[in-house]
Every structure is written in C-alpha cells, then in structure tokens.
Amino acid sequence: MDFRLEFDPPSLSQKIDLDDNIMLVGSCFTEHVYNYLVASKFSAVQNPHGVLFNPVSIANALSRYVEKKHISSNELFEQNGLWNHWDFHSSLSCTSQEESLERMNETISSAHSFLKHAQWLIVTLGSAYVYELQGPQVVANCHKIPSSHFTKRMLDPEEIVSTYNKIITQIKQFNHNLNIIFTISPVRHLRDGFVENNRSKSVLIHAVDKLTRQQEHLHYFPSYELVIDDLRDYRFYAEDMVHPNYLATRYVWEKFCAAAINGRSREVMKELDQLNMAFQHKPLHPDSVEHRKFRIKYKDIAQSLAARFPSIDLSKEINHFS
C-alpha cells in the first residue's frame, strides 16, 4: 500500500541547456538549486543582493540590475558596527562604509553584465509579507533594527502581479531572449504563524499563476508542492522543522531536471555525476597501482568530456587526476 502520492511536474515548453547562463534570485531555497546547477557545471549566478524573501524586494533588485543603478554613500546606514543598505541582505554589509559601498556596487555591475546575456532567470518567492519603513519603503532586510520601526503587512496578489508586469517588461526590453521560471519556496516561515504562513504562500501561488498565464516566456515549477504535497512528511525537513533537508532538496532537483533541462544536457550531467563522485573519492592507499589506474581512467573521462563540450571547464578535475 502506498502512503504518499507522487506527481511529476509538467515539462516546460522550453528547456534549459548546459550552455545556458542562469541567474537565480530569491529565498534561501535558491541556494540549493544553485549548488546543484554549479555541481553540474552550469554557468550560474545567485542572489547578487543576498537572500531576498518578499516579491517587492526581489523586483527592486532586478530593476537595479537592469538599470545598473549604483547606490550612493548616503543610502547606507550604520547599525551595530556594520554599514547596511535596506535593499541588501546583511551578508553584504561591512564594517567600513567605503567597503560596503564598493562591494554592493560591484555586485550590481556584475549582475547587470550577467543578466544581459543570460538565457534563464529563476525567481524563488519566499513570503508575501513585507516590512515597511515610513514612506512607505519596503525593506529586504531589517538588519536587527527593532520591529517597532516597521509596519508589517501582507501583499495583495494583484499588487504582486502589477509589480512583476512592470519589471518583466523592463527585463524583456533589456534582454529579449530571457526566459523566467517562478517557483515558491517550500521553506516554512513559521515566525509569521502557521495559519499566516499558509495564507502567505497562497497569495504567492495565486499571483504567480496569474503571471504565468499571461505570457509564454514565463514558467512555473512547483518546488513548494513537491515538498508539501508529494513528500508530505517531517522526515524530509531539517531539525528546525522549517527547512527542507538534503533528501527533499535532492528530490526537487531531480524533478526539476526532468521537467526543465533538455535531454542532451541530462545525459552529460550523468557523466559529470560519475566524475564528481570519483573526484570526491578518498583513497586509502594513494600510491597504489590500483589508484594510479583509477586516476588515469578518470583523467581520460574528464579530457574526453572537455573535448566534446568545450563550454564546460573541467581543468580542476583534469589536474586532480593528473
């Protein structure tokens, strides 16, 4: 007797190729997808602004990349010895104002250049709740400022749709070859409350559904549904019962590959997986004849792959097995 219902997400009408450039922005779940992509030798960039959860802050970051809109020193503020910006995650904050400014503006310039020639943008929305300063100004990160300084509210689906219709138009004028995949993070924002978290995710799902129905180059991948409805068990969460664990993220990645990555690339990825396993192998006797044969075998495999697919950088693997 089966105790879970598995489902396979529908294939995207367009598929990702191993030669494509991919930018990922949004929730911390973005990091898992990015790590899998990089391990499979995709050219990818993740969260130039740092982790972003709400749709408005993600849209603001994308607009800044398109416009290459650098920040000025008077936009930074000091808190607990760090210089911060309301649009950036605290991981970009530094103890020096000049260093923070240089670091943040460098990420904007790099993101602008990468997005201009990217084929794919993956947007992972985490929460429909926003925190606003007086203005109102939606902030990406509160930087440990007391909550009394902010007003918390939930976005309306139509507000999200309107925001993204504008930014998508802007992005397509900047790079008309770009395809966009939306997904909802399965990370549970329980600090908002159980009921509130579900309401928040519902708003995001409703808004993204309206967006993806409007334009062909917009796609939806059901990361949230795969964890919540397919796996549907706390054993697929980390100890905090909030973040999906390795088994869950690996499962979502495998489903993503089947639905969003083309067949040629998936075949190459299988060979790369074998090479990665060999690369991580720790020999008990590194000077033995058997291990020398092992190294020769996988150096030949790495060189063969590099010759067949010049866009893949396998220099590290080739040097490792030499």
pLDDT digits (tens, 9 = 90+) for 86-116: 999 999 999 999 999 999 999 999 999 999 9
Mean pLDDT for 278-305 is 92
Percent of the chain with pLDDT over 70: 99
Residue 83, beta-bridge partner list: 78, 94
Residue 82, beta-bridge partner list: 79
Q: What pLDDT, on the 0 to 100 scale, is given for residue 93?
A: 96
CA angle 230, 234, 238 (to 5 degrees): 115
Mean pLDDT for 301-307 is 92
How far is 53 from 95, CA to CA, in rounded Å? Answer: 24
Cis peptide, bond prior to residue 222, ω within 30 of zero = no
The CA-based dihedral angle spanning residues 281, 284, 285, 291, taken in that order and rounded to the nearest 10 degrees: -30
Q: What pLDDT, on the 0 to 100 scale, is given for residue 199?
A: 97
- Residue 212 token pair: 């993806």
Q: What pLDDT, on the 0 to 100 scale, is given for residue 320?
A: 93
Q: What pLDDT, on the 0 to 100 scale, is given for residue 265?
A: 95
- Residue 312 token pair: 């893949």
Q: What pLDDT, on the 0 to 100 scale, is given for residue 2?
A: 66
Please say if the pLDDT value at position 235 is more than 90: no
How far is 112 from 114, CA to CA, in rounded Å? Answer: 6
Please say if the pLDDT value at position 122 is more than 90: yes
Q: What pLDDT, on the 0 to 100 scale, is given for residue 234?
A: 82
Question: Do 209 and 149 touch, CB atoms closer than 8 A?
Answer: no
Mean pLDDT for 223-239 is 90
Q: Residue 43: helix, strand or coil by DSSP?
A: strand
Question: Do 89 and 51 touch, CB atoms closer than 8 A?
Answer: yes
**Cβ count near 23 (within 10 Å):** 24
Please say if the pLDDT value at position 20 is more than 90: yes
Average pLDDT value over all residues in the chain:
94
How far is 17 from 113, CA to CA, in rounded Å? Answer: 20
Q: What pLDDT, on the 0 to 100 scale, is given for residue 237?
A: 84
Domains and CATH numbers, the chain: 21-261 (3.40.50.1110), 263-322 (no CATH)
Question: Do 251 and 263 touch, CB atoms closer than 8 A?
Answer: no
How far is 21 from 304, CA to CA, in rounded Å? Answer: 23
Mean pLDDT for 43-61 is 96
Q: What pLDDT, on the 0 to 100 scale, is given for residue 3?
A: 66
Q: What pLDDT, on the 0 to 100 scale, is given for residue 232?
A: 86
134/24: higher pLDDT: 24
Residue 179, beta-bridge partner list: 120
Q: Which of 249, 187, 253, 227 is nearest to 28 (CA)?
A: 187
Q: What pLDDT, on the 0 to 100 scale, is given for residue 214?
A: 86
Question: Do 45 and 117 touch, CB atoms closer than 8 A?
Answer: no
Residue 185 buriedness (CB in 10 A; 0-12 / 13-18 / 19+):
buried
Q: What is the pLDDT of residues 180-213, one digit of tens each?
A: 999 999 999 988 999 999 999 999 999 999 999 9
Please say if the pLDDT value at position 1 is more than 60: no
Tell me which of 2-6, 28-32, 232-236 is least confident. Answer: 2-6
Residue 183, beta-bridge partner list: 124
Residue 120, beta-bridge partner list: 22, 179
